[in-house]
Amino acid sequence: MSAAEAEPTLIGSVQRALRLVDIVANSPRPLPPKMLAAITGLTPGTTYNLVRTLVHEGYLASEPDGLVLGSRFPSFQQQIDSRGVFLARVRAALRDVTEGLGATAYLSRFDDGEMHLVDIVDAVRNPRVELWVGLQSSAHATALGKQILAELSDADRQDYLSRHRLEELTPRTISDRSTLLTQLEHSPGWAVDQEEYVIGATCVAVPVLAPGVTASLAISLPADRAVVDRALVSTLQLTARRLSLQLGADSLDGGSGAEFTI
């Protein structure tokens, strides 16, 4: 057999398309086509043609700020921990919340002992809260952070609080550790911060829980127009439970029957 016959026949365009999918799958954020072209060294024209085909076939999906994995990616069910798969599912859930409630939606996750803001989908009429202090240092003052703290084990919660000062970000911030712990221990299954992170904004968060995932889904609203009622919380909880199931939870139960109190 000649060397030429021994060499496998490779299709360059397929290789390039698969590389684009791989890069998007491992990106923690949506990637614009221009950035994909820069990463791969492909010409913009080639990149756009490949992306257009991948989007058409459902392997990628186009969001306003870039590309994420599409629902037809063949390894979705086996790759829950892939950052691209996780982001795609989170983005879809946040978009549903934003479109349904008209509020900017956020998702944060507890990983390796710290709080991380995963993604935000903006609402046109209710833009995002200016994140002037990172979530790593402001979990005690945000609904996103407080909901995660409420879900942690006592050991993990104590460890986190031992490493982070409870800074008073506004006059409404809970900066006393005992008071914060009491609030967390009596959590009704959802969390709220009423101008505790920034004056003028009220945020509401609910848990997103799955094997290996402790996260929270939240919205922000202008404090003077925020109506935090059973309907709003139930809508958030439904989306959060669906996302939990997509991420590997074995049941939609949990949290739906929590008493509604503020």
Burial 6-27 (b: 16+ CB within 10 A, else e): eeeeeeeeeeebeebbebbbeb
Mean pLDDT of the residues in the chain: 86
Same domain membership, residue 140 and residue 18: no
- Enclosing domain of residue 102: 80-246
Residue 190 sits in a domain of what CATH number?
A: 3.30.450.40
Q: Which residue has the tokens 């043609």?
A: 49
pTM of the model: 0.69
The C-alpha atoms of residue 205 and residue 239 are separated, in whole angstroms, by 12
Same domain membership, residue 12 and residue 97: no
pLDDT tier for residue 254 given thresholds of 50, 70 and 90: very low
Per the structure, the count of domains in the chain is 2
pLDDT tens per residue, range 51-100: 999 998 888 888 777 888 776 654 444 444 556 678 888 988 999 999 99
pLDDT tens per residue, range 120-169: 999 988 888 888 888 888 999 999 999 999 999 999 999 999 999 999 99
Same domain membership, residue 31 and residue 59: yes
Residue 61 sits in a domain of what CATH number?
A: 1.10.10.10
